[in-house]
Chains A and B, each alone.
Chain A
Amino acid sequence: MFGPDEFAALFVVVLGYALFLFRAKRNRKGKSKAEAFFKQDNTPLEIQQSSLYGSEQHISCTCPIPLNGTYDQLYERLDNALIVADTKTRNKPQVFHSDVIQLSAYKVILENSKEFKGKQVLDYGYMRLVCKGVTHYKKVDLMREDQVVELYQRRRAILNGSQQATKADSRGKCLNCHQLKLCGGVKSFRRTHTAAQGIKRKVSEW
């Protein structure tokens, strides 16, 4: 008859086999669903092979600069490195500088947040652009931490008037802007805003 050791071994083998069958069945079902989702969403292979670390989660940090925000998706690669992703709905699959700043700022928060201590955040992220029902993923190189800090300080300096603001870098941005009449858009140079709204700031050349 079986002794306790043989019985224990048999017990583990039986349970292991049952678990294997159960998982195989579940994986087949789950895998086909996930594959359809990735195909429909044009998900890059790198993200497909990563696991979802979090979605729509609020994060914040106080050092080196006080920032907070809610990232759209955060993926974890097999080597435990984190990838930041952000979704935008646009008419064209176009990445703007503001997108780069946004992803870079999330990276700065993640690298300086206690919750993510010791985690490596990759120096690139993904913009998920939904254009007329079609999804495009664009890989984006992120800014360094010192560049984000510099931008934060520049923003403060512009708002308190110690530095001059530049204009938009393309006319397209001005087309739907509600301040176009006041500002004159990128075509106007050295325009001073005065009169009705009482703005007396000189806007720098573009």
Chain B
Amino acid sequence: MARKLAVTELAKMGYCETLLVMNKELNNADKGYRDEAAIDRGNKEHEAFDARVKREHAPRKPARDKRCFIASCVYGLEAPQTERLRQWRDDSLAHKFGGSLFINAYYRLSPSIARLLVKHEGLQAVVRSMLDCLLRRL
């Protein structure tokens, strides 16, 4: 299998083909394009922009299908409370008027809320007490 060619090597074809040949024959492939100071300047600019663009530019949104139930975050993925809420969602809520609307709204909000809950334990306690209250009424 042929060795993979670096894109930058292929790009040198657009600079000067003669230089490419001469460098190969003289065995100093990396010389002849820029001086060391310019290369150093370029590398520093790359590093600085890489750090800044990662910090300032909006990152790609995660895939939408990775939903997270708030109860899974508060009680645990397989906890009986979580299972009870799932059961209530499927058996009761989904069949009621506006139930699917509620479930959709919940799924839209729940990933962001779950992320918040992971970060803030105090908020987790508040949500847990609200869910406990809901579970007592089911």
Contacts and interface: CB of A to CB of B under 8 A. Distances in A.
A126 interface: no
Nearest to B44: A89
Interface string B23-41: 1111000011011001001
B8 A179 contact: no
A60 B60 contact: no
B46 A101 contact: no
A179 B19 contact: yes
A24 interface: no
B94 to A, nearest CB: 12
Nearest to A130: B45
Contacts of A203: 18, 21
Contacts of B19: 168, 177, 179, 183
Contact of B5 (A56, A66, A100): A66
B61 interface: yes
Contact of B17 (A2, A8, A102, A165): A165
A65 B134 CA distance: 61
A98 B4 contact: no
A67 B7 CA distance: 6
Contacts of B116: 19, 22
Given A68-B5, A109-B7, A183-B18, A19 B13 contact: no
B137 A7 contact: yes
Given A51-B61, A102-B8, A159 B46 contact: no
